[in-house]
Amino acid sequence: MRRRRFLYTSAALTAGAALRPLTAGPLAFAPAGATMIRHNIGYYTERGGTIGFYRPPSGAGGVVVDSQFPDAAEHFLKEVFAGDLSLDLLINTHHHGDHTGGNGVIAPRSRAYVAHERARTNLEKSEAERTEGEAVPLPETTFAKDWTMTLPDGEIVTARHFGAGHTGGDAVIHFENANVAHLGDLLFNRRFPYIDPGAGGNMTNWIKVMGKIRKAYDRDTVFIFGHAAESYPVTGSREDVASFQDYLSYLRKYVKKEKRKGTSLEALKAKTTTIPSAPEWRFGDRLRDVNLEVMWEEV
């Protein structure tokens, strides 16, 4: 795996183009704007949370994980699924608008439209409060713990909910044969994470969720992240899962210690630039403050 990833990287550096899988099926597929990971699974970034997708080697059907915004979803479909009338599945990692805003574009073309039950409730609530932008249809199928679909070519898509974290309705979407897993916003790569307690998110439990994810997948799994700091990749390995789990643990330890010492929340925010022992997380000042505030409420 390491060697393969090294080859991907060096090939990209040489060609200066989108990564091409070395193990492409009958259809060597390399759409513009998208990056292939392996086994015809790739990701697309334009605006908002990373879209993951599976484009079967036969060229028929396919899977889309998250949808960014309506305009980005249109561009994505045009580049990755041009000419295809129907997809097998649209599935969301959670309800946030930068991951579901384009669902109205993609869901009508998809045989199944799925999300975690709490993600559906969260989406229903945010849709009821919507004052602008395009309405998002609600998922037709929901699940509480896990959900699986076997595609006509044998690839298996499994969604699993590991408990409250970024929201109360996060799911990890795993392409089992390819061993690629989309984490949605359960991992912000080297960027202070957003957290949504109003939608059931919990930072302390998020630490446990990352521990469960580390055990549920293996060292060959390629993870797709919802967001990354500029110049950091939106894919990575189990080591990145462990590093992010450490970030959350160190944040908890730090806030708890300062609160016990009698430091006020305002003073804590004023003196903190990075979390002790987790200096790699240093991008996004506003969200750093949100992290301190939310953890403050929890410890």
Q: What order do you get walking across the sheet with 41-44 strand by strand?
A: 34-38, 41-44, 51-54, 63-65, 87-91, 110-116, 141-143
Where in 99-221 does DSSP place strands (E)?
A: 110-116, 141-143, 146-150, 156-160, 172-175, 180-182, 188-189
CB of 116 to Zn ion, least distance (A): 13
| Nearer of residues 47 and 111 to Zn ion, judged by Cβ | 47
> What's the CA gap between 57 and 40, in Å, rounded?
7
Q: Which stretch binds Zn ion (CB under 5 A): 70-78, 178-186, 205-213, 249-257?
A: 178-186
66 binds Zn ion (CB under 5 A): no
CB of 166 to Zn ion, least distance (A): 6
CB of 197 to Zn ion, least distance (A): 13
CB of 13 to Zn ion, least distance (A): 31
| Nearer of residues 178 and 209 to Zn ion, judged by Cβ | 209
Q: Which stretch binds Zn ion (CB under 5 A): 24-32, 115-123, 177-185, 282-290?
A: 177-185
CB of 49 to Zn ion, least distance (A): 6
* Strand-pair category, 156-160 with 172-175: antiparallel
**CB 70 within 8 Å of CB 160:** no
**CB 86 within 8 Å of CB 61:** yes
155 binds Zn ion (CB under 5 A): no
185 binds Zn ion (CB under 5 A): yes
| Nearer of residues 75 and 96 to Zn ion, judged by Cβ | 96
Where in the chain does DSSP place strands (E)?
A: 34-38, 41-44, 51-54, 63-65, 87-91, 110-116, 141-143, 146-150, 156-160, 172-175, 180-182, 188-189, 222-224, 227-228, 235-236
Site string for Zn ion, 80-99 (x = CB under 5 A): ----------------x---
Query: How many residues form the binding site for Zn ion (CB under 5 A)?
Result: 2
Q: How many CB atoms lie within 10 A of CB 212?
A: 15
Q: Which stretch binds Zn ion (CB under 5 A): 31-39, 125-133, 182-190, 247-255?
A: 182-190
CB of 158 to Zn ion, least distance (A): 21
Give the footprint of Zn ion on this chain (CB under 5 A): 96, 185
